[in-house]
Structure 1
Amino acid sequence: MPINVILLMILGVCVVTDIRKRKIYNKVIFPSLIAAFVLNTALGGFRGFEEAFLGFIVGFALLLIPYIFGGMGAGDVKLMALVGAFKGYEFVLESFIYMAVIGGILAIGVIIMRGGFRNSLGVGMPYGVAIAGGAVMALLMDVTLL
């Protein structure tokens, strides 16, 4: 449970900076990654470390191709990897599904606010919001299923 609270606080900071400055800062991500590995190892031993590492790799891989093609910022990729490091690969996969839905809704909102698809081309959006929203939805679903 403390891992969930810590993750929510980090996601909150990243959402605020992504909305305000369009950046997800390494000075938030890197110490948080260390915390994720330390906490998971302390709570689960080597198995906890393995779960954090696999979650990190899966989270990173999920957004790597969109990043390579310019559809995503590096901070977004690192944030998704961070979610995986905190909660593991199954959670990050579930978060990814919710993130995609929330990202689609946000994209539709941008298109509507810009007055159409053509006016929206080349306009980015703070995708950290969708990543955080996906993680929060996955957390909520885990809580309601218990």
Structure 2
Amino acid sequence: MLINVILIMILAVCVATDVRKRKIYNKVIFPSLIAAFVLNTAMGGFSGFGESIIGFLVGLVLLLIPYILGGMGAGDVKLMALIGALKGYAFVLESFVYMALIGGLLAIMVIIMRGGFKKSLGIGMPYGVAIAGGAVVALLMDVTLL
């Protein structure tokens, strides 16, 4: 429960800064990442730490190719890795699926609002919104399944 509250707070801050300034700040991500490792270790011992590391790596790898290809910023990649570090690899994979769906819907909205595909080329969008949305949907799905 504590990790879910922390995750929601981090997501809220990251969405706000991504929408306003198109940045997800390291001063939010890095302390949160340390907290994720410490909390998971405190709650689950060595296996909790291992789950956190694996989640971090899975989250990192999921968005690494789009980042390398210039499709998203490093803050987006670090946020996804942080989600994995907080909640583990299964959660970050589930979040990724919802993130992709939400990101697709946001892209369609941008295209419609900009007046067509050609006019929308080169216009970025704050993808932290889709990442946070995917994590929130995954949290809600986990709660409803309990």
Structure 2 length-normalised TM? 1.00
Moved over 6 A (4+): none
List per-residue Cα deviations over 1:18-45 (Å, max 9, x = no partner).
0000000000000000000000000000
Number of matched pairs: 146
CA deviation after TM superposition for structure 1 residue 85, in Å:
0.2
Q: In structure 2, what is the equivalent of residue 88 of structure 1?
A: 88
Q: Distance in 1 between matches of 2:54 and 2:97?
A: 18
Structure 1 unaligned residues grouped into runs of 5+: none
Structure 2 unaligned residues grouped into runs of 5+: none
CA deviation after TM superposition for structure 1 residue 66, in Å:
0.1
SS in 1 for 2:112: helix
CA deviation after TM superposition for structure 1 residue 120, in Å:
0.3
For 1:1-146, what aligned pairs fall within 5 Å after superposition?
A: 1-146=1-146
Q: Distance in 1 between matches of 2:38 and 2:131?
A: 23
CA deviation after TM superposition for structure 1 residue 52, in Å:
0.3
SS in 2 for 1:137: helix
List per-residue Cα deviations over 1:91-143 (Å, max 9, x = no partner).
00000000000000000000000000000000000000000000000000000
Structure 1 length-normalised TM? 1.00
Q: Distance in 2 between matches of 1:128 and 1:39?
A: 24
CA deviation after TM superposition for structure 1 residue 82, in Å:
0.3
